[in-house]
């Protein structure tokens, strides 16, 4: 059975957008709960920290828009997909680096497990972006590649 890479790629975009948007609601409604999974002590759950979590939720929602725009097959889709993945890779490399430095320094107020998990998640996401950008860029292409593979 042959695999249609574009279809799989589009499903992955939909899945990632869904996960992103599903994470926004709890961050907006109960940021203290989200922080309870991340910080070392309850004293670190401050009104300022809760506000920052809500800001991050808004950023996540906004940055999900390019993922959604990359789903349909349009003449612009390959460019939108490529730019979106480049943007996400750059952001995830920067965030992963910052998290890694906080992990190594050890005094961020965040749990080491939360930092490690976040850092490895960013590394895995960068690997996925590089896979599609460098190894399988045809999976991001439009209608010509979307035909059923024989």
Q: What is the pLDDT of residue 73?
A: 85
Closest CA to 129 of 16, 1, 2: 16
Q: How far apart are CA 29 and CA 64, in angstroms?
A: 19
Q: How far apart are CA 17 and CA 28, in angstroms?
A: 17
Work out the average pLDDT over 116-143. Answer: 91
Closest CA to 62 of 30, 87, 44: 87
Q: Which residue has the higher pLDDT, 5 or 110?
A: 110
pLDDT tens digits for range 32-48: 999 999 999 999 999 99
pLDDT tens digits for range 96-117: 999 999 999 998 999 999 999 9
DSSP 3-state of 110: strand
């Amino acid at each position: 059975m042959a695999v249609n890479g574009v279809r799989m790629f589009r499903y992955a975009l939909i899945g990632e957008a869904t996960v992103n948007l599903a994470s926004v609601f709890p961050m907006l409604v109960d940021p203290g709960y989200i922080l309870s999974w991340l910080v070392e002590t309850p004293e670190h759950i401050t009104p300022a920290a809760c506000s920052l979590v809500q800001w991050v939720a808004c950023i996540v929602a906004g940055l999900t828009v390019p993922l959604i725009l990359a789903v349909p097959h349009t003449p612009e889709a390959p460019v939108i997909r490529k730019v979106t993945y480049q943007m996400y890779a750059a952001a995830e490399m920067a965030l992963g680096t910052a998290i890694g430095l906080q992990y190594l320094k050890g005094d961020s107020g965040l749990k080491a497990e939360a930092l490690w998990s976040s850092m490895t998640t960013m590394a895995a996401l960068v690997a996925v972006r590089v896979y599609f950008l460098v190894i399988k860029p045809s999976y991001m292409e439009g209608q010509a590649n979307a035909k059923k593979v024989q």
